[in-house]
Amino acid sequence: MIEKYKIDELNVQVYENRALMGEAAAKATSERIRQLLKEKETINIIFAAAPSQNEFLENLTNEKEIDWNRIRAFHMDEYVGLDLDAPQRFGNFLKDRIFGKLPFKSVFYLDGNAADLDEECSRYAELLKKYPAEIVCMGIGENAHIAFNDPHVADFNDPYLVKVVDLDPECRNQQVNDGCFKSIEEVPSKALTLTIPALMNAQYAFCMVPGKTKAKAVANTLNEKISEMYPSTILRRHPRAVLFLDKDSAAHIDMD
């Protein structure tokens, strides 16, 4: 670690590169998992699907002495209308990197191809109520979204836990920047997402945000007024959240 500080309630840790960031985030998350499993028979974790999570997920799957068959897993968003075997589907992304590698007690998938999307949102919301999350592992988008809560649909007091949203152009373009799609025309315009209350209800939040393309979003997260214009600013109100950065994503932070 090369720097650490606290902004409002949010703990911030900066690492030399994304490999070290991912390693540190996985270590911190695994320590919390082990502690919670000493206190509870089962726990529930929400995961994000994005290239920003790759190093974290790789390290987490290699962590020892975690009783994964006492853990239920959720994911926080899903595109609407992609082919079932499309690698860009977030359920498939996480199945390849963690859900299919570890013996979870349960994995709950969001279905972006459900015949009735509102009914699917209700189904998933009921699961979140039945199995409240102890931990959320997440990222921040280039437009400061968390999950698919882009600024125009973000609501800190959202009455829903899961909803259908339209994706804004900056969010869709990020998927091209990340190499997930060849052009913005290929990126779906709708998605299912856990809402901001659903994410912030988790007892612990571990947020991994590496890379140059996230530097502006990180600076806005830490410096702008807490508001839905920059959805990730809500992390500064979470009592047990840690933001993990690398030098590139921390490049625009001015702490002087």
Model confidence over 136-176: pLDDT tens digits? 999 999 999 999 999 999 999 999 999 999 998 888 888 88
Residue 19 burial class via C-beta count within 10 angstroms: exposed 0-12, middle 13-18, buried 19 and up: middle
Confidence band of 256 (pLDDT split at 50, 70, 90): low
Q: What would the mean pLDDT of 212-223 be, rounded to a whole number?
A: 97
Residue 236 belongs to what domain range?
Answer: 3-246
For 92-103, write each residue's pLDDT tens digit: 999 999 999 999
- Sorted by sequence, the CB contacts under 8 Å of residue 78 that are 6+ apart come out as 89, 90, 91, 109, 110, 111, 112, 191, 192
Whether 255 is covered by a domain: the verdict is no
Among the ranges given (10-24, 76-90, 140-154, 166-180), the one the predictor scored with the smallest mean pLDDT? 166-180
> Which pLDDT does position 14 carry in this prediction?
98
Number of domains in the chain: 1
pLDDT at 130 over 90: yes
Q: What would the mean pLDDT of 91-119 be, rounded to a whole number?
A: 97
Mean pLDDT rounded to a whole number for the chain? 96
Whether 253 is covered by a domain: the verdict is no
Percent of all residues in the chain with a pLDDT value above 90, rounded to a whole number: 88
Percent of all residues in the chain with a pLDDT value above 70, rounded to a whole number: 99
CA distance 21 to 122: 35
* CATH assignment at residue 234: 3.40.50.1360
* Nearest of 205, 66, 69 to residue 139 by alpha carbon: 205
Confidence band of 108 (pLDDT split at 50, 70, 90): very high
Whether 73 is covered by a domain: the verdict is yes
Whether 251 is covered by a domain: the verdict is no
Whether 106 is covered by a domain: the verdict is yes
For 230-252, write each residue's pLDDT tens digit: 999 999 999 999 999 999 999 99
> Which pLDDT does position 82 carry in this prediction?
94
Whether 122 is covered by a domain: the verdict is yes
> Which pLDDT does position 156 carry in this prediction?
98
Confidence band of 255 (pLDDT split at 50, 70, 90): low
Q: Annotate the chain with DSSP letters as a single string.
A: --EEEEETTEEEEEESSHHHHHHHHHHHHHHHHHHHHHH-S-EEEEE--SGGGHHHHHHHHT-SS--GGGEEEEESEEESS--TT-TTSHHHHHIIIIITTS--SEEEPP-TT-SSHHHHHHHHHHHHHHS--SEEEE---TTS-BTTB-TTT--TT-S-SEEEEEPPHHHHHHHHHTTS-SSGGGS-SEEEEE-HHHHHTSSEEEEEE-SGGGHHHHHHHHHS-SBTTBGGGGGGG-TTEEEEEETTTTTT----
Q: What would the mean pLDDT of 45-71 be, rounded to a whole number?
A: 96
